Structure 1
């Protein structure tokens, strides 16, 4: 038997729902003879009568009633399949690989992921802990779709970077130190330091801040995990320069924060592959930009 036509099945279901061939023809915007041909063709292919047709309403036969129930399921599955394709083409479903630092993952990503899960549940976001340099390299290689990176970044072919947000860098200090109201490079250089490791943009920003004052920073330890750095600060192990990533002020009695003099800022951007600007990654990118705009 040749394959059944979805159009024929749709005609049959319309007749069952509306009670007549004429009503089905009007609802489907088909000529009445076309509806008749659809049903006749179906019955011929199946070798069974599906409808009782007379002067009154069209009534399903016993075989027709069971077949119509199956036809409804087939049509629903076909509609779902078409809708899935449309959603994929619109970038509403699919996997998005995103890279970011631990601080961004802890503070900026959660509300964005919550919103995406609520508004676009078809997106499957995979988060990787990466430095900005690693993220840019993986974007160029095609093994990452999107990244939140520190700015500025050297231009990378095939990767587009959009500014996202700008956060002040603060001095995080053991509360027992009783620091001045504003912390200078010279005051901080005389104390033990805990810094991000040398592969990060924040380390370079910090080194440039000290260098502008004619000083060279010598960290007691280098880490690439800001929460661990804050824990060491709370223990009195040293001071740290970290961006104010959280929207709420730090609630830790053993740590005090001070603005820097001169001021220092950490800028972030969203980097994505040019080929992904019309795909699922574009929706994650827009959610990040929208979240930053509401700050």
Structure 2
């Protein structure tokens, strides 16, 4: 026996606690010869007696006491590890790795995480700020469990992408600007713009919207952080196009929010690997599903 078996150590501790081989056998639901074999294997592995028999009682030798002290800690650690894993199997605890863009993280995801924290406080969601392409690649590679991605996405083997939300894209302009009730591509193109950089799906979506009207405006500055973009709009630096979720708070009073003509929508999907997810991942998917909007 090259390794120390936890079963053998548990038997040794039971004998020390109960004072006899027979009592340990009953407590562990083992046959008496099995208990004797466990002790013999441990003593052979250690190379010294672990138990002493005196006046009908069995007690540990000095070496046995040292091993029993360590064995108690090992057994407690093993039991704790099994309890932790069992809680994960039951979905009460666990770690879920989620990828999302800055747009989803700004408002939608914090709401979902608040609900999740109230209902499943033992689930730890680790969030990575990624583009949709990066999210799908990491899902396929097994380093993410869930992704919030822009739609549409091409079919990918081993992944499921389901529609999640469809939020309107709005024009955010300095409130001091004279503005129409609805912003057109021509009106916006004639003004300084703050837009997402070309690596994002939103940038491509807005570029297509401008192109459909024959416009190809150049941004005054490109950023990927919506809060920073809105701060620049509030300062009068330019206008922008961003999604607006129905439950999101109204913008800074220095910002006017205008619907677009024609309307533009930002669709998002939830992606995860095919098959049955682990229960902790399913709990997160369930909470995100409550924020679904057609």
Q: What's the CA shift string for 1:9-42, capped at 9, x where partnerless? A: 1112122334443332223211233223333444
TM-score (norm 1): 0.73
In 2, are the aligned partners of 1:135 and 1:147 still within 8 Å (CA)? yes
Q: 1:289 and 1:202, CA in 2 relative to 1: closer, same or farther beyond 3 A?
A: farther
Specify the alignment match of 1:235 in structure 2.
235
Between stretches 86-95 and 22-31, larger displacement belongs to 86-95
Unmatched 5+ stretches in structure 2: none
Aligned partners of 2:37, 2:138: CA distance in 1, in Å?
58
In 2, are the aligned partners of 1:171 and 1:241 still within 8 Å (CA)? yes
RMSD: 4.1
Specify the alignment match of 2:13 in structure 1.
13
Q: What's the CA shift string for 1:76-113, capped at 9, x where partnerless? A: 345566678889999976794x5432223333445666
Instruction: Say if 2:256 is the partner of 1:218.
Output: no
Task: Please give the residue correspondences for 1:183-262 in structure 2 after superposition, counting only pairs within 5 Å.
Answer: 183-185=183-185, 187-210=187-210, 214-221=213-220, 223-225=222-224, 226-244=226-244, 247-262=247-262
Task: Please give the residue correspondences for 1:104-119 in structure 2 after superposition, counting only pairs within 5 Å.
Answer: 104-110=104-110, 118-119=121-122
In 1, are the aligned partners of 2:18 and 2:24 still within 8 Å (CA)? yes
What is the number of equivalent residue pairs in this alignment?
A: 285
Q: 1:4 and 1:79, CA in 2 relative to 1: closer, same or farther beyond 3 A?
A: same
Specify the alignment match of 1:149 in structure 2.
149
Q: 1:268 and 1:2, CA in 2 relative to 1: closer, same or farther beyond 3 A?
A: closer
Aligned partners of 2:31, 2:137: CA distance in 1, in Å?
60
Q: 1:285 and 1:30, CA in 2 relative to 1: closer, same or farther beyond 3 A?
A: closer
In 1, are the aligned partners of 2:186 and 2:215 still within 8 Å (CA)? no
In 2, are the aligned partners of 1:52 and 1:61 still within 8 Å (CA)? no
